A and B are shown apart, each in its own frame.
Chain A
C-alpha cells in the first residue's frame, strides 16, 4: 500500500545532509514552506545550496535559514524583496554566494532537470552581462545561449491538499515553482494544509501527480511570512 505520509516535519527533513542542494518552493511568501524550513534549521544541516526565486524576508522561513549560516550558495532570480535584509548582508560580506538566473531560465532549468533534458538553448540573456561564460549558438538566424538543467537532492514544497499517494493541488499563486521543483529533486518533501485518502482529489484536478512526491506531512494551519514579519518574529 502506498502511503507517503510521515508523522512530523522533523521526520520529513531528517535525512537532509550537509552540502545538499535543496529546492524551496515559493515566490515571495506565496507557497513558502515555512514549517519545513524551520524544521530544517532545527535539524542542523549546513553548507546548503538553495534554489528559490527570492531569498526570503524578515528573519523567518528561508531568510532564517540563511541567517543561521546554513546556506553557502543561493541560486535565485531576485534576491532583493521587501523586508529582505538577511541575504544582502551575508552576500556583501562574502559569506553567501549568489548564482543569479533570469526567472524563466531558472524555471526551465528546473523543468529540464525533472524531464531528463540535460540542457537547452534560450534567447534570454543574449547580449547581456548574464550571458558571460555561456555557449552561444545561432539557430534559424537568431542567437541563443546554452543553459544547463538544474536538479536537487531535496525539494521542500507547500501544497493546499495532498492525498496519501502524493497527488497535490495548490492555493492560487502559491503554485509557482513547486510543480517543477517536485519533478527535479531526488526526494520531494511536501507540507500540506489538508491530507486526504486516495480519491479525495478529483483526478481531473490533480496539479502534481504523486509520482513526483516522496513524503507528505500535514501542517494544518501554516504560518504566513507577512504575518510573522509584521509581528517582528525571528526563528529560532
Chain B
C-alpha cells in the first residue's frame, strides 16, 4: 500500500482514525470503499455493531473460507455474521435507518460542501447509469454522518468545496470529514480544522481545499 510520494495517512490509517471517534456500543453503518476498512480497526475495549442495509445487524469480516453467497454486505461481497447477529427484511432494515435507530454512518464522498451538503452517488454525466442505493436514506435518517475520503481527486481537484457541482445525496448532512490530510468539522461557520495529519500544515491543507478552512478552535485566539 505504501506509495513513496504519499503525503498524510494511508487508507487504512484513515479508517483507523475514524474508528477512534466512534463511541462504544454504537450501531454503525459503513459505506463502500474506505468506510469498509473501519471494521478492522475497532479500538481496544470498544464494541461496535455493524449494520448492512441488505438485512444484517452484527456483520463480521469476510469469511476465511468460500463463505455463503447469500451472506453478503451492501457492496455484495461475502461477509460473516458475528455471534448475536440478526437477519431481517429490507423494510425493517430501513426502519432502523429512517427511524433514527442507527447511531452513525461512515460514507465515502465525491464532494462535500462547506454547509455539509454531500454528493456521493452520481457525477451527473450524460448517459451515465444513475444508481443511488441506500445513500439518500442513510443521510436523511442517521443522526451522525462521517465522511472518509481522499482530500482531493486523482487529478488533484478539491473534494471539499464551497458548493457541490455534482448532484446531491442530501443537503447539510455531513458532520465530520476524515481525509488523508486532516480531520475537518462542518460547522455553522463552514469547514473548521480539527486535526492535521503528521507532516502536514494548515496552509498545505488550505491549498487543497476548495473553500475557506477555519483554523483549529484552540489555535484561533492565537492566530487572531
Task: Using CB atoms and an 8 Å cutoff, list the residues of chain A in contact with chain B.
Answer: 27-31, 53, 77-82, 87-88, 91-92, 98, 100-108, 110-111, 122-130, 170-180, 207, 224-227
Residues of A within 8 A of B167 (CB): 128-129
> Are A124 and B136 neighbours in the complex by a CB distance under 8 Å?
yes
> By CB atoms of chain A within 10 A, which of B56, B122, B129 has the most?
B129
> Are B140 and A175 neighbours in the complex by a CB distance under 8 Å?
no
Contact of B131 with A by CB under 8 A: yes
> B28-64 CB contact bits vs A (8 Å, 1 = yes)?
0000000000000000000000001111100000000
With A123-B141, A128-B170 known to touch, is A176 a contact of B55 (CB < 8 Å)? yes
> Of A78, A80, A92, A124, which contacts B98 at CB under 8 A?
A124
Which residue of chain A has the shortest Cβ distance to B54 in the bound complex? Answer: A27
Pick the interface stretch among B14-22, B68-76, B194-202, B207-215.
Answer: B68-76
Task: For chain B, give the interface size range.
Answer: 35 or more
Contact of B127 with A by CB under 8 A: yes
- Looking at the assembled complex, report how far the CB atom of A129 sits from the nearest CB atom of chain B, in whole angstroms: 5
Which residue of chain B has the shortest Cβ distance to A100 in the bound complex? Answer: B130
> Are B131 and A102 neighbours in the complex by a CB distance under 8 Å?
no
> Are B90 and A224 neighbours in the complex by a CB distance under 8 Å?
no
With A31-B70, A100-B130, A180-B91 known to touch, is A81 a contact of B76 (CB < 8 Å)? yes
Contact of B94 with A by CB under 8 A: yes
Residues of A within 8 A of B69 (CB): 29-30, 224-227
Residues of A within 8 A of B140 (CB): 122-126
- Looking at the assembled complex, report how far the CB atom of A82 sits from the nearest CB atom of chain B, in whole angstroms: 7
Pick the interface stretch among B5-13, B81-89, B178-186.
Answer: B81-89
Residues of A within 8 A of B53 (CB): 103-104
Contact of B156 with A by CB under 8 A: no
With A128-B167, A172-B70, A176-B54 known to touch, is A102 a contact of B90 (CB < 8 Å)? no
Further 16 A-B residue pairs, CB within 8 A, beyond A126-B171, A225-B69: A87-B129, A101-B132, A103-B94, A104-B136, A104-B137, A105-B136, A107-B94, A108-B98, A124-B140, A127-B171, A128-B136, A129-B122, A170-B87, A173-B72, A175-B89, A176-B55
Q: Of residues 117 to 140 in B, which have CB atoms within 8 Å of A's CB atoms?
A: 122, 124, 127, 129-137, 140
Complexed CA–CA distance, A225 and B76 (Å): 12
> Are B94 and A80 neighbours in the complex by a CB distance under 8 Å?
no
Complexed CA–CA distance, A86 and B132 (Å): 19
- Looking at the assembled complex, report how far the CB atom of A96 sits from the nearest CB atom of chain B, in whole angstroms: 11
Complexed CA–CA distance, A173 and B58 (Å): 12
- Looking at the assembled complex, report how far the CB atom of A83 sits from the nearest CB atom of chain B, in whole angstroms: 10
> Are A30 and B54 neighbours in the complex by a CB distance under 8 Å?
yes
- Looking at the assembled complex, report how far the CB atom of A34 sits from the nearest CB atom of chain B, in whole angstroms: 12
With A92-B127, A173-B55, A180-B90 known to touch, is A77 a contact of B133 (CB < 8 Å)? yes
